[in-house]
Amino acid sequence: MKTVILTGGMGSGKSAVCRYLSSRGVPVYDSDARTKSLYDRDPSLVLRMEEVLRVSLRDSEGRLDRCRLAGVIFSDPVAKSRVESVVYPAVLDDFKRWKRWHRPKGWSYGSVPFVVLESAVILSSPIFDGLGDKVVLVDAPEDVRVRRSVERDHSDPAAVLRRIRQQAFDLSRVDAVIRNTGSLEELSAETDRVFLNLFLYL
């Protein structure tokens, strides 16, 4: 069974595409949600992060304090790299286990069975190299992405713009682009078009 990597920056519409694919019977691995689940399911993962950072990351109830973790890694690139060295192998193993248990259901763009791995950072993380059979990028104009992110998270527009401009994608590794510039109906149609063409070449 094939793996399609779905990536894109904040506000691009990855989540909307994933919801649509799920509605068509395609299994979708949401890397952010699964990583948060790993923090809760695997106490040793939090312990290893604390060991490499040499700081406590737990709240008063012994659970991971995600705000504290974010405060550490977003202000220190070295700390971020150390956390990734612990978390990314765990996510990779989790995806491989997840994939063994999931099969497409219903209509899934022809005769090629596949799952989708959604991640914003996967192309910049060498540990994931070679994992996907195809890479699809979801993209939208910068001003649209800023507006969507601000409306969704009630964030400061300037901060959102800085984060968007920090995200970069190696287009030489992208096999297809979903342009998300209109309505949800238009996005669904664009997703169908891209995936139907994509699987002509798998």
Percentage of the chain modeled with pLDDT above 70 = 94
In the predicted structure, residue 126 carries a pLDDT above the cut 80: yes
- Indicate if 75 and 133 belong to the same structural domain: no
Sorting pLDDT into bands at 50, 70 and 90, what band is 142? Answer: confident
Question: What's the pLDDT score for residue 3?
Answer: 94
Alpha-carbon distance values, 38 to 27, 32, 88, 106, 118 (Å): 19, 10, 11, 29, 16
Range of the domain at 75: 32-101
End-to-end CA distance of the chain: 11
- Indicate if 71 and 57 belong to the same structural domain: yes
Sorting pLDDT into bands at 50, 70 and 90, what band is 202? Answer: low
Out of 85, 101, 117, a domain closes at 101
Ranking 18-22, 61-65, 152-156 by mean pLDDT, the lowest is 152-156
CA dihedral 138, 93, 73, 59 (to 10 degrees): 120
- Indicate if 12 and 108 belong to the same structural domain: yes
CATH number at residue 172: 3.40.50.300
In the predicted structure, residue 169 carries a pLDDT above the cut 90: no
- Indicate if 15 and 36 belong to the same structural domain: no
Q: How many domains does the chain have?
A: 2
